A and B are shown apart, each in its own frame.
Chain A
Amino acid sequence: MKTVFDRPHALCDVPLHYCPGCTHGIVHRLVAEVIDELGVEGKTIGIAPVGCSVFAYNYFNCDMIEAAHGRAPAVATGVKRTHPDNVVFTYQGDGDLAAIGTAETVHVAARGENITIIFINNAIYGMTGGQMAPTTLPGQVTTTSPYGRDRKIQGNPIRVCEMLSTLDGTALAARVSVDTPKAVINAKKMIKKAFQNQLDGKGFSIVEVLSTCPTNWGMSPTDALQWLRDNMIPYYPLGTYKDIDAQEA
């Protein structure tokens, strides 16, 4: 009998710890499929963050480094600059990438480091149990914005792709979602492009994936997907904010 669906080789055969309905699992799979399709597992080094995906080092079959909170882009720089022929990617959440690691994120893009960042934006701190993130929406209730995020008190969310698209070092900044099968197919296309860019030496590529956190949002998985469509996508419009290929063409 012909196998039509299987675990990608780049994904380890271990149970993932993610909550039911969390979209981390989908994105893990997409990254692993891309690594398989490009045939680069043997030369890839992944950098795991601090956040819900902290254990990503146990899930990806390539060599992995666990970084301090927010520092994955700096660690990736150290690896890539001393091993330019390897493929280096970071996998980071919104607190890691857009709060404590903002400086590292901006400067890795400004330098045009030839690496790939997979950025999971679920508008909340998942690992520590639902606190306000830099991407938490105005009015959104979290354990540290219990009356809803008030712009006057907690400030405004950061649109990462828009911000990084202004930097000359950025080759690709795209925001995708994984809320529908069609969106998943498109997300994989962009993730593959972000890795291919690195293989082609084009410079810094980031794919932001809008994700759900049913547990900390306090919703069922299907309600969470609908909440993402109704609230996150309007604030964080999907699309490609910068693509040097498109600019050249």
Chain B
Amino acid sequence: MAKKVLMKGNEAIAEAAISVGCIHFFGYPITPQTEVAEYLAKRLPKVGGLCLQAESEVAAINMTLGAAAAGTRVMTSSSSPGISLKSEGISYIAGSDLPCLIVNVQRGGPGLGGIQPSQADYYQATRGVGHGDLRLIVLAPSSVQEMASLTAQALDLADIYRMPAMLLADGALGQMMEPVDFSAFPKRDVPEKTWATVGHNNARPHNIVNSLYIDPQVLEDSVKARYQRYAEVEKNEVQYEEFMTDDADIVLVAFGITARICKSAVTAARAAGIKAGLLRPITLWPFPKDAISAAADHAKALMSVEMSMGQMVDDVRLAVNGKKPVYFYGRTGGMIPSVEEVTKEICSLANAL
């Protein structure tokens, strides 16, 4: 086993990106993700790359678009308010079929909100980041190791499906340190970027990267073609982790840092004689709806636990489709639910069942 290093989550994202050949970064400072840019600003010039601080989030995402259009493996990162600013560019990137990685180290909102960890951008990431019919591949790490490994995966997935991918983390994951091993990211084959605008060199017709289709029939056709690719992603790329769900009466559904807390709470509940389990979506889009539906077949109830007022719970309900009751427990505004309070929720739910 390669030697592990103790690293901040934000730094792990940066180092992982470099390790899979993403050496171009455009960003803008915002707490609690700034270490991504700081780390890259130090490292990228030494590996022939570039870390450019843009004048705004808006400019940063459009620089990302330009680099992606020119066939470069590229990323940008921000935190919640910055992602709102980037959402215009993300829509254009999706509409132009460009691959890139967008990192959101979430903080509390709405508005300027706070700087403590949050998961309240779930809707934004999975529903509303930018106008129009579009999807992002959304990966939700729950450890510093996954901050690294899912960054590497996201860049591959973006290239394979020619679409933007988002790493949806939070301030706790960004700031916390854990040992990371950078040696073992599985590499996938990615297609050649024949569509890239790198100069035709008088050898082919000109490439055009564009999201404008004035004829509605042509636009509908282009969106439908993109949705066929989305269907492939839904078929092939769902990822989740199950913990003690086999015989569970109560199945918690949680992602990211919250899933860590829920894991401890499940263990505590089991010690108290309650059959609890945890299903952790790793991909938030595509959402592991089949796995959740299957869990609902044998569980008595499900409970979505989130650092928000209840957003993913909608997807859990859609997946369960009325088969079993779905409950919600959450903290928001930067408050992290404690193991004790989640355990208490499980116990009171167990009593009520």
Interface residues of A (CB under 8 A from B): 12, 41-45, 47, 54, 57-58, 60-68, 71, 74-83, 86-87, 103-104, 106-107
- A99 CB to nearest chain B CB (Å): 14
3 closest A-B pairs by beta carbon, nearest first, are: A78-B66, A74-B62, A63-B197
**CB-CB under 8 A for A78 and B68, given A57-B208, A103-B56, A103-B59:** yes
A78 touches B208 (CB 8 A): no
| Residues 240-262 (chain B) with a chain A CB within 8 angstroms | none
CB distance from A192 to the nearest CB of B (A): 19
B209 touches A65 (CB 8 A): yes
Residues of B within 8 A of A44 (CB): 199
Bound-state CA distance A47–B72 (Å) is 17
Contact A78 B74 (CB under 8 A): yes
Q: How far is the CB of A40 from chain B (nearest CB, A)?
A: 9
Residue contact B72 to A82, C-beta cutoff 8 Å = yes
Inter-chain contact A62/B199, CB cutoff 8 Å: yes
**Smallest CB separation, B141 vs chain A (Å):** 26
Mask: chain B, 319-345; 1 = CB below 8 Å from A; 0 = not: 000000000000000000000000000
List B39-88 residues whose CB lies under 8 Å from chain A: 50, 52, 54-56, 58-60, 62-70, 72, 74, 88
When distances are taken between beta carbons in the complex, the residues of chain A under 8 Å from B24 are 81-82
A54, A60, A62, A107: which contacts B55 (Cβ < 8 A)? A107
Q: Counting chain A CB atoms within 10 Å of each CB, which of B50, B66, B211, B212 scores highest?
A: B66
CA distance A205 to B5 in the complex (A): 46
Alpha-carbon distance A87/B74, docked complex (angstroms): 20
Closest B residue by C-beta to A78: B66
Interchain pairs with CB closer than 8 A, number: 133
Asked if B89 is at the interface (CB within 8 A of a chain A CB), the reply is yes
With beta carbons under 8 angstroms apart, the residue of B197, B203, B210 that contacts A42 is: B203
A52 to B175, CA, bound (A): 47
Which of the residues A66, A71, A79, A83 comes within 8 Å of B211, measured between beta carbons? A66
Provide a sorted-by-A list of 29 A–B residue pairs whose CB atoms are within 8 angstroms.
A42-B199, A42-B200, A42-B202, A43-B201, A47-B66, A57-B210, A62-B206, A63-B199, A63-B207, A65-B197, A66-B96, A66-B208, A66-B212, A74-B58, A75-B62, A77-B66, A78-B26, A78-B65, A78-B67, A78-B68, A78-B69, A78-B72, A79-B69, A80-B66, A81-B50, A81-B67, A82-B72, A83-B198, A107-B54
* Chain B residues whose C-beta falls within 8 Å of the C-beta of A106 in the assembled complex: 55
**Which residues of chain A have C-beta atoms less than 8 A from B208's C-beta?**
57-58, 63-66
Q: Does B230 contact A (CB under 8 A)?
A: no
Contact B197 A74 (CB under 8 A): no
Q: Which residues of B contact A63 (CB under 8 A)?
A: 197-200, 206-208
Taking the closest CB of chain B, its distance from the CB of A23, in whole angstroms, is: 23
Cα(A76)–Cα(B69), bound, Å: 10
- A58 proximity list for chain B (CB < 8 A): 208
Residues of B within 8 Å of A65, CB to CB, are 65-66, 69, 96, 197, 208-210
Q: How far is the CA of A80 from the CA of B26 in the complex (A)?
A: 13
Interface centre among B60, B65, B69, B212 (most CB of A within 10 A): B69
CB <8 Å contact, B197 and A77: no
Name the residue among A57, A64, A65, A103 with the largest chain B CB count within 10 angstroms: A65
Residue of B with least CB distance to A77: B63
Residues of B within 8 A of A64 (CB): 197, 206-210
A172 to B166, CA, bound (A): 39
Given A78-B26, A78-B70, A81-B50, is A43 in contact with B199 using a C-beta cutoff of 8 Å?
yes
Which of A58, A60, A83, A86 has the largest count of B CB atoms less than 10 A from its CB? A83
Closest Cβ of chain B: how far from A4's Cβ, in Å?
24
A203 vs B199: C-alpha distance in the bound complex, in angstroms?
20
Residues of B within 8 A of A71 (CB): 58-59, 62, 65, 89
B residues in contact with A107, CB < 8 Å: 54-55, 59
Residue B92 is within 8 A (CB to CB) of chain A in the complex: yes
